[in-house]
Structure 1
Amino acid sequence: MTRLIVAAGGGGDAVAAAMLHAAQYGDEDQAVILTYAWDRLLVDPLPGPRSAHDFTSLEPVTRSVWSVPATARPIAPAGSTLPRLAAELPQKFALLDPQHGVEGVTNQLEELIAHLTPESIDVLDVGGDILARGDEPTLKSPLADALTLAACCRVDAPVRLLVAGPGLDGELSADDLRPLLGPVVHTFTAKDVASISSVLEWHPSEATGMLAATARGVRGTCEVRDAGLPVPLTDASPQLYEVDLDEALSHNTLARTVMATTALDEVEAHSREICGFSEIDYERNKATWLKDQPPTPLDVATVLRQVDEFQSKARARRVTHTTFRHLTEVLNINGSQRGDLRQLLLASHPDQYAAPLWRIPDAVSDPS
């Protein structure tokens, strides 16, 4: 049997989809994970999602759907985590291309469903911003999720909407999401995380990283993103919820509005009108700024001193954990050096690694 799992927002949702497959369906069923090639700027310096023409060596699945094998490569200067995911995980990854709006995504879904005749179709969002109205002041990245939700609601097939780790994306709080969530269908465990453990060592997703950490038992408050958002890590964080698809659509103004779009530019325009912004505009502005911030060699003593200063201030904010992405931001280190920073800190204080997060020591006297 084949299971189709749609990673609603791309990026870390695709990694979580692999964990979902292992947890819910085991090794007996094959899985195809349909996902955007939309990574953080530290991976892909080009704003927005990538299309099939941005890759070499893709393999055709249907007329408009391509799979991303381990041998595929993004065409420079583009970057993508998908080929490495394909190399390290057993699932098959297929490219979801939003360039033709909801109309195009719907066509891709319908073609793939007809080709695979899957036993089940799940759409997975980590964090829950797929349930946003669109006017929430904390909302940061509604576009991809709204586009996916709209397309899934147009497909003439049963689709199960799942939200993992409510609030973990730092956009909508778990309290705000709770009335919108249906039953808990699974609580992720350390055993489930084992299926993606190698990927978590390098993949930059903060939300999926926190989902995995809480499945391993980590609790506290994690500071994330460039803005330093505090995200509670609670007993509800590793839980997987089912949500009624039609109710989600009725709540998501942006998704309802983009239902008939035929171009990504149209989706962006609606996002600006409803949400007040497009996250692709944010990426465009940040990409321009990053061009003027070339990487410089890390000075070990300076970095460790800066980390100590950050940890002292973080303790005062009652922060217990952070991500390596956030550390690169607060230390003003080029995002391409995230891996170097991680290795430096693991070598200096290995006991502070709460995989894949970084633990803030309890006090200055902490032996770490």
Structure 2
Amino acid sequence: MTRLIVAAGGGGDAVAAAVVDAALYGGDEPAVILTYAWDRLIVDPVPGPRGAADFRDLRRLTHSVWAVPADARPVAPAGSTLPRLAAELTYTFALMDPHRGAEGMTRQLDELIAEFSPSTVDLLDVGGDILARGDEPGLKSPLGDALSLAACARVDVPIRLLVAGPGLDGEIPADVLRDRLGSRVLTLTAEQVEPVSAVLEWHPSEATAMLAATARGIRGLCEVRDSGLPVPLTDEGPAVYEVDLGEAVERNELARAVRATTSLAEAERHSREVCGFSEIDYERAKVQRLSDRTSVAFDDAAVLARVAHIAAAARAQGVTYTTFRRLTEALGLPGTQRRDLRALLISSHPEGYTPPLWHFGPQG
């Protein structure tokens, strides 16, 4: 017997799942974390989530579910953070594959539950966009969460829906989410996020980075994404809430629409109908834009000058922090140079590094 926690949107939700699991249950027996292999283009240049066929050397857990061990490798040109997560965290990362729609994901959940007889099953989302209706103006990535929610709603065991860091994904503001949240079950501390501090040195998740930052007491306004979206870092940031899963499904029109889907393409069609877009279409378009971009040599002095310009503009808007992913994209650098940028900034201005964020410093 173990525990099962579903990382609703993949990516940083899988890292947060390890934190929340240990904080809630003690971590004496690490859980199985069921997660998408769906990383942003800074890691994986192929749009959409990866399936089992996109990896080598997976380990079979059930007929339909594979674990991603440390020695697994994505098939080029795809990329994935999951093998490195498996190497650095003592959890089993099981691959949630949405290519057969919510029907296939439900089957995966049923098989895992039958195989492991978990003592608890939790569904975790960082930020709270899983509580969307589908028409919110800031909504950017509803599809993965809606599929996870739909699949969990079909499973014949109790599943607890948890939302960590309301508003930290920059999609639905915390003030809007407040009436949709249930009771607070946990407020994360600096000690509880410390086990993933090394992971957040390289993992590109912005929402989970801000979740860890707020748990460490960092407060202010953080600029994220290529668009420079400002996200408040408040006392609400490290909070974890329990939400009624049935109520979330009733509210989430996309989750209801995709419940009987048998392919990812079918789920995408529903997303376009309900929300007016599919985030995979956005990724496809962004890949095309990036492919048209001329590569620029990494010149230390020029990069530092441009970062100083970005910082000045941000401070003028009251922004105090940013992520390294945001800076990488704002500078027009390829994802492969994110590590170079981070190393340059920390070596040149160590006072600006407030793990895992970059501090712009006082205005003036």
TM over 0.5: yes
For residues 326 and 124 of structure 2, the distance between their equivalents in structure 1, rounded to whole angstroms, comes to 24
Of 135-144 and 322-331, deviating more is 322-331
1:83-232 matches, within 5 Å, as 83-232=83-232
- The CA RMSD measured in Å over matched residues stands at 0.9
Residue type of the alignment partner of 1:219:
R
Aligned-partner Cα distance in 2 for 1:44–1:310: 26
Tell me which residue corresponds to 2:78. Answer: 78
1:287-331 per-residue CA deviation (whole Å, 9 max, x = no partner) reads 112122354331111111111111111111000100111111222
TM-score norm. by structure 1 comes to 0.98
Greater CA deviation, 304-313 or 80-89? 304-313
AA aligned to 2:138 is T
Question: 2:18 matched to which residue of 1?
Answer: 18
* Equivalences for residues 55-66 of structure 1 within 5 A: 55-66=55-66
Q: C-alpha deviations, 1:257-283, integer Å up to 9, x for none?
A: 111111100100000011010000000
TM-score by length of 2: 0.99
The answer on whether the counterparts of 1:294 and 1:334 sit within 8 Å (CA) in structure 2 is no
Aligned mates of 1:222, 1:10 — CA distance in 2: 22
Residue equivalent to 1:68: 68
Deviation >6 Å, runs of 4+: none
Bigger Cα displacement from structure 2, 27-36 vs 62-71: 27-36
* Separation of aligned partners in 1, 2:248 and 2:109: 19
> Match of 1:331, as an amino acid?
L
Is residue 288 of structure 2 the alignment partner of residue 272 of structure 1? Answer: no
- Gapped regions of structure 2 (runs ≥ 5): none
List gaps (5 residues or longer) in structure 1: none
CA distance in structure 1 between the partners assigned to 2:329 and 2:57 by the alignment: 34
Offset, 1:158: 0.5
Distance 1:90 1:183 in 2: 29
Paired residues of 1:168 and 1:231 also in contact (CA < 8 A): yes
Whole-Å separation in 1 of the counterparts to 2:264 and 2:309: 43
The amino acid that maps onto 2:17 is: A
Q: Deviations over 1:64-96 (max 9, x none)?
A: 000010010001111000000000000110000
Give, in whole Å, the separation in 1 of the partners of 2:291 and 2:264: 25
Q: Contact 2:209–2:356 (CA<8 Å) still a contact in 1? A: yes
Partner amino acid, structure 2, of 1:103:
E
Paired residues in the alignment total 364
Partner of 1:293: 293
1:234-245 superposed matches below 5 A = 234-245=234-245
- What is the alpha-carbon distance in structure 2 between the residues aligned to residue 88 and residue 297 of structure 1? 32
Q: Distance in 2 between matches of 1:52 and 1:253?
A: 29
Is the CA contact 1:22–1:195 (under 8 Å) kept in the aligned structure 2?
A: no
Report if aligned partners of 1:5, 1:32 keep a CA contact under 8 Å in 2. yes
Q: Deviations over 1:16-75 (max 9, x none)?
A: 001112211223223100000000111111000000010000011100000010010001
Question: 2:29 matched to 1:33?
Answer: no
Task: Give the residue type in structure 1 aligned to 2:333.
Answer: I
Quick one: which amino acid aligns to residue 339 of structure 2? G
Q: 3-state DSSP class of the match of 2:351?
A: helix
CA displacement, residues 137-164 of structure 1 (integer Å, 9 cap, x when unaligned): 1100000000000000000001000000
Which residue identity does 1:359 align to in structure 2?
A: H
2:99 match: secondary structure: coil
Looking at structure 2, the residues matched to 105 and 136 of structure 1 have their Cα atoms a distance apart, in angstroms, of 26
Task: Tell me if the contact between 2:316 and 2:363 (Cα under 8 Å) persists in the aligned partners.
Answer: no
Rounded to whole Å, the distance in 2 between the matches of 1:98 and 1:314 is 38
The letter for the 1-side match of 2:54 is D
Contact 1:37 1:51 in 2 (8 A): yes
In the alignment, the residues of structure 2 paired with residue 28 and residue 233 of structure 1 have an alpha-carbon distance, to the nearest angstrom, of 31
Q: Who is 1:336 aligned against?
A: 336
CA–CA distance in structure 1, aligned partners of residues 45 and 315 of structure 2: 33
CA distance in 1, matches of 2:139, 2:27: 36
Conservation of the 8 A alpha-carbon contact between 1:293 and 1:334: no
Match for 2:91: what amino acid? Q
The percent identity for this pair of structures is 66
